[in-house]
Each structure stands twice: as C-alpha cells, then as structure tokens.
Amino acid sequence: MSKKNIIIFVVILLILIILLIYLAFFRSSNDEVNVYDYYEGEQREDVDEEDMIYLWNGDNVPTETLYTENDNNYFDDPDFRPYMTVYDVPDGVDVKGAMLVSPGGAFLFRSEITEGSNVAEAFAKLGYVSFVVHYRIDPYTEEESGIDIARAIRYVRYHAEDYDIPRNNINVVGFSAGGIANGHAVLEFGDNINGTILDDNYTPDEIDKVNATPNAVIMAYSFYGRLSVADLNSSTFEDFDLPPTFYVYGTEDPFYSQFNSQVDLLNSLDKNIESLVLDNYPHGFGASGDWVDDVNLWLDYNIKI
C-alpha cells in the first residue's frame, strides 16, 4: 500500500472513529426520555391536609416494598400516605355516580393536574362526584399501586350515601400508568380480595367487606397489562367478568398498535368494549379532545341505576 493510500485510510478511519464517538454521545444523551417532558408546569395538586381522604387507617397499609429513605429522588417521601381529593358536582347538577381518576406518570410521578384535577372537574360538571386517587408509585410495585385504587373504590362505595352516590355507578378512569394500575385493581384486587393477598400483617376492616370492582373502566391511552406492555393473552380475559371498558387514545401515541390489539382481542371475546380514536393526538392529552362527553353518553347507556 502506497504512502498516499495509507494516509487516506488513516483519515477515513479517524473520521469513522469520530463519527462513532459522536453517535454514541448523541444517542446516550437523547434516547433517555424524561417522562416529565410529557407535561408542562407543576403537576402536583395543591391540597390542604384537611382535604386529604386517606385510603388506609394509620399504619395498616398492605405493603411488600421496604421504603425508609428517599435516596433516589422519588416523587413521594417514605411518610407518604395514599389519599384522595374530592371534586363535588356543581350546584344545580344532579349526581349520577362517582368517577375515580388515576393520573399517569410511568409510575415515577403522578400527573395530578393534567390527568387529575382537570379531569375530575370535567366529570364533576357532568354529574359525577370525582375523586383524584394519589396512589403509591416507584419504589412501590404496580401491585401496590393497584391495591390502593381497589381500596379507593371500596372507600367510595362504603361511603356512597355520604356523597349521595348510587353504589352501582362507581367508575374509574386512568391515564397511561394510572390506567394500568386500574387494570391491576380490576383483575387482581376486585370483588372481596383484601390486603392480606400482599401482606400477611395487614388487618382487614369494615371497608374491606365492600366489593372493589368498579361498574365501568375508562382506559385513557392505557390498557390492561403492565407498564409499556399490553396483556394480549386471551386466557386472562375469556373467563373473567370484565367491567364495561371504554378506550380513548390517539393515532400519534407510541402505544397506538397495542391499544388496537387489545381492543380487537376483547371484542373477539365479546366483552363490552367501546373505543374512540382521536386523529393526530399524542400520548398525554388529558381531558382535551371532547372525549369526556362521549364517555358520559356511553356510561348513561351502560350503567342502569
């Protein structure tokens, strides 16, 4: 090989090395998605202590995760107690039922405004006393998130008369991870299953005697499954008495095909399923898109009081 060719080879090799280094840096700095980028501004619901409806009594909380120190910048500190906040229907509006709202956030945080209070206010205007559920998230497991929501359903049904809510019109809407947590509540912690299924030290109480299965489920860009993975096994659903389920999602959502696949599966199993696909909508649109009105009509048809 001539000296000229050697020089050319070395130059090309150096260019390739520089390009590889650049790509490695570029990918490492851009492929990691920051979930907070999906939502603008502060996402913590501003609520006073006296307005928090705690789900569990004192330290009697079914737990399988040991969490004593916030050394990983977790959204909630170790002394966090799962709770709800309530949004009453406006004066002059008849109460239809209840809507429990589970915000999303990849189980890393809760989008308590975009997918919480904003949604609760929208359903409250339509006659649903609404509750934003502040369930446990990372470092807790998805099962612990789900059992918090099951407890919230029980709590609202147990206190239905206090809110003038029909006991057979208590529904859940969940966004992204919130919908997945709702799915865990339905599939794993419904009926009369209590906290002892997760924690032998848990002591059941009067609220645990109440059925935890919601009357309807709204999956807002979410699905039955685990984080990022829809359950597409027919065996999960074919013999399960699944509540009526309404799916709403956008064509620009990265999980669009998974939503479609689960809807198709459940329709093939003759489950009571409805779906609304919003053109050009991405993940994280919250209450926008006028879908809340569609859900309201769907609930009127499916929930017979």
Question: What digits encode the pLDDT tens for the residues 189-205?
Answer: 998 899 999 999 999 99
Q: Could you tell me the two tokens for 262?
A: 């689960």
Residue 205's domain spans which residues?
Answer: 50-302
Residue 12 lies in a domain: no
Q: Could you tell me the two tokens for 67?
A: 């969490």
Q: Could you tell me the two tokens for 181?
A: 């947590």
Q: What residue ranges in the chain does DSSP mark as E strands?
A: 53-54, 83-87, 97-102, 128-134, 170-175, 216-220, 225-226, 229-230, 245-250, 273-278
Residue 156 lies in a domain: yes
> Per-residue pLDDT tens for 135-176?
999 999 999 999 999 999 999 999 999 999 999 999 999 999
Q: Could you tell me the two tokens for 232?
A: 């597409």
Residue 131 lies in a domain: yes
SS3 state of residue 154: helix
CA–CA gap between residue 152 and residue 201 (Å, rounded): 20
Q: What is the pTM of this model?
A: 0.86
Task: Read off the pLDDT of each residue in 36-54 and give the average, rounded to a whole number.
Answer: 77
CATH code of the domain covering residue 277: 3.40.50.1820
What average pLDDT does the structure give for the chain? Answer: 89
The reported pLDDT for the residue numbered 43 is: 81
> Per-residue pLDDT tens for 201-225?
999 999 999 999 999 999 999 999 9
CA–CA gap between residue 107 and residue 219 (Å, rounded): 16
DSSP state letter for 197: G
Residue 185 lies in a domain: yes
Q: Which residues of 109-145 are buried (b: 16+ CB within 10 A; e: fewer)?
A: bbbbbbbbbbbbebbbebbbbbbbbbbbbbbbbbbbb
Residue 205 lies in a domain: yes
Number of domains in the chain: 1
DSSP state letter for 260: H
31 pLDDT band (50/70/90 cuts)? very low
CA–CA gap between residue 117 and residue 101 (Å, rounded): 8
Residue 9 lies in a domain: no
The reported pLDDT for the residue numbered 86 is: 98
CA–CA gap between residue 292 and residue 75 (Å, rounded): 28
Residue 72 lies in a domain: yes
Question: Residue 209: CA atoms inside 13 Å, Cβ hemisphere, count?
Answer: 3
172 CB contacts (<8 Å, ≥6 apart)?
Answer: 99, 100, 101, 102, 149, 153, 182, 185, 186, 214, 216, 217, 218
Output phi, psi for 85, to 5 deg.
-125, 145
Residue 163 lies in a domain: yes
DSSP state letter for 117: I
Task: Give the type of residue at 118.
Answer: N
